[in-house]
Every structure is written in C-alpha cells, then in structure tokens.
Structure 1
Amino acid sequence: MDNQLFEFPFKAEVWGTVSDWVMVLVTATTAWLLLRTLNEQKKFTKIELERYARENPPTFASRNDLGNSRNPPNPLKFRVILKNNGLKNLVISNDFPVGFEITHDYSNSESLIPDSQVYLTISNKTSPELKDCNGKIKFEYDDMLNNRYIQVLELKRANSLSWKPPYKISNS
C-alpha cells in the first residue's frame, strides 16, 4: 500500500479528499456547538420569563374616581383593565348587600392578555339610588405559571374605588 498522504509536493487528488473530510468535521463541530448554545439560551429565556411573571403578577386597574356625583347613576358602569401579564380562570365575586347585582362581560372560558378590558355593572334592584353602595368585588385568577391570585376592588359610596394589590394564594 502506497501512502501518498505525506508526499511532497502534495497531490491534489489526495489532499482534496482530506480537505473535504476536514470541512465535514469542522461543519459538524460547529453545528454541535450551535445546538448546545441554542439549548442553553432556551433555558436562560425560560428562567427569565418565569422571573418576570413572578415579579409582575397580573394586576387589574381602573380609574379610582367614578365621579363626584352625590347620586351616581343606577346602574353604575365602569371598566377594569388588566396590566402586566396575562391570566386565566378568572372568577369574579362580590360581597355587596342584598339587592345589589354585579354583572360583567367576561366569559369564564377565556384567558385574558395584558390591556384586556372587563366591563362591570353594579345595579340596585331594590332602590333607584346607589348612593349608599359599599362593597367589595373579588377577582380570583391564575397567572400563566398557574399561580393563584386574589385582587380586591372596594367600592365606597358608589363614587370611589380602592384597589388592593394582588396577593398569591397558591403556587403552581
């Protein structure tokens, strides 16, 4: 067997073949390193998304002043806006006195993205006036990491809203 690999001057038909194999080896090594880098970046991105979700839970907000009217309209209508992150499994409940009805336009089956709006209506079925309307509306929901939160909206005399910050009641 005649080894022509190390003959000088180099033969093109031999070194062309070695060159091809070196190129394949370099390409395969590059692909393997790129794949490792991509997998590390995916892990880092997932960690950062989870950190952002923990530090910025879904939060509802609205105007705090519903007007300075002594006799607010019956029914009272206003909107709340979702901030920071999306949510799912929203349940809206209240502890208003008997005779007050709270309705909303949220369908329990849908998830909400940031800047989504939910329209609420408070009406007094026993009186034409809302001026003595005091109560709380509770928003209970899951964030996208399946952490359960509660946020409370307090309504005072039908013209002032007070939001409590959301608090986590269970982890995923």
Structure 2
Amino acid sequence: MDINNFGVFNSNTWGTVSDWAMVIVTMLTAFYLIRTFNAQYEIKKIELWKYLETIKPIYTVELIHTNVINSKSNYDLDLSFVISNTNGVAKNVTLDIFSTFEGWKFYIDSKIPLELPIREYSIVSTMISATYSSEKSGAACTFKFEFSDNVGNLYRQMCVFSAMNSNLDVKTSIPIMQNKPIFKV
C-alpha cells in the first residue's frame, strides 16, 4: 500500500493532513478576527457617543427676578432670565422666543427691545428681561435654541416658561441632535 494514496483520496489531489490542519487553523483565525473587529467597532461607537455627550452644549434658562402683579383687571409680570451655556462650546446660535399669549415684550439689558430671532456666533451668558401684561391670569413663552457643537453637529433645544397666578416655572429639555452625527475625533 502506498502511503500517499488512500483509495480515492490521492494526496497529490486532496493534500495531506498538515495541509488540512493549516486550512482549518486559518479559518478559525479568520472567524475570531472578524468577531474581534466587530467588538472593536461597537466599542468605538460607544466611545464616540460618549465624546459627543461631553462636547454637547446645553443651555439653561434661569429665572432670577420676578414681580407678579395679579389684580382683578390685569395680570402683569416683570421678569429677568439668565440664559447660559453650561456645557461645551456652542457655535452659530439662533435663539427665538415665541408665545401663543399676546402681551409679551422682551429686552436685553432691561432697555433695548429684543429683535427676534437672535443670531449670534456664540451665546455664553446673556440676561433677557421680559414684561407681560394681559387680562388673562396665565402666561407662557418658549425659548428655542438652535446651535452646533465644535464638531459641527446641529442641535435644537427648548426651554418653556409658564406662569399661572403666582406659580412660575421654567422647564428645560435636553438638546436633540438634528443631523446624523459628524465624528471628527
């Protein structure tokens, strides 16, 4: 019997055991390399999202001065808001303030009437004064911010002020990304 001939399995055609062992080891190596690359890709996505969260600008609207006059004929508010960026650097900021309630007037530095929307390269901290006068006993206004971060991702954020009698409240949403993330790390 010829050692290189196992019946129909000729070693010149089908290879030897060492050839087959090399093929099996190569396939196992390729399988585990692909699994490793997929795991690395998932970790990269998680780390990029963490990075985006650290550079995402977040605006807050804080009510620092209030004067509520609630008479029988009128509901008057004299308010001061401080708008500030608490995280990251915001670029190309657009601030719009709107309300379905008539009677709002907004000012910068308590004197200059505010022209809306405000378009600034960056708003770090700004004080806005507001007066409201109406026969209705409630008021609300919304601060809408649109801005981009250092990388160029676009965001939209809303802050809502509401007043009912003497209850004053400011609610701030988280910034919501308006585009697919741009990763420049």
Distance 2:89 2:136 in 1: 33
Q: Is it true that 1:144 corresponds to 2:150 in the alignment?
A: yes
Q: Which residue number corresponds to residue 78 of structure 1?
A: 81
Kindly provide the CA deviation profile for residues 48-98 of structure 1, in whole angstroms up to 9, marking residues without a partner as x.
xx7665113100124468669565964311202211101111111133123
2:148 aligns to what SS in structure 1? strand
Distance 2:108 2:158 in 1: 15
1:165 and 1:108 map into 2 onto residues whose CA distance is 20
Is residue 79–residue 119 contact of structure 1 (8 Å, CA) maintained in 2?
A: yes
TM-score (norm 1): 0.54
Distance 2:159 2:153 in 1: 20
What residue in structure 1 maps to residue 175 of structure 2?
166
Q: 1:121 maps to which residue?
A: 129
- The change in CA–CA distance for 1:117 and 1:150 in structure 2 (over 3 A counts) is same
Quote the RMSD (CA, aligned, Å).
3.6
Change (3 A) 1:130 1:165: farther
Query: Hey, what's the Cα distance between the residues in 2 that align with 1:102 and 1:165?
Result: 24
Query: Aligned partners of 2:128 and 2:137: how far apart in 1?
Result: 17
Residue aligning to 2:33: none
1:58 aligned partner: 57
**Structure 2 unaligned runs (5+)?**
1-47
Question: CA contact under 8 A between 1:64 and 1:162: conserved in structure 2?
Answer: no
Aligned-partner Cα distance in 2 for 1:153–1:142: 17
Q: Which amino acid aligns with 2:158?
A: V
Cα–Cα, structure 1 residues 120 and 132, in superposed 2: closer, same or farther, change >3 Å?
same
Tell me by how many angstroms 1:139 deviates. Answer: 0.9
* CA distance, structure 2, for counterparts of residue 95 and residue 84 of structure 1: 24
Q: Is it true that 1:101 corresponds to 2:100 in the alignment? A: no
Larger strand fraction of residues: 2
Which residue in 1 is equivalent to 2:121? 110
Q: Residues 53, 68 of structure 1: CA spacing in aligned structure 2 closer, same or farther, 3 A cutoff? A: farther
Deviations 1:81-134 (A, max 9, x none): 21110111111113312331334479634324xxx212122222x54x895111
**Aligned residue pairs: how many?**
120
> Shift of residue 170 of structure 1?
1.6
After TM superposition, the score normalised by the length of structure 2 is 0.51
- Taking a change above 3 Å as real, the CA distance of residues 53 and 88 of structure 1, as seen in their structure-2 partners, is farther
Counterparts in 2 of 1:152 and 1:66: CA distance versus 1, 3 Å: farther
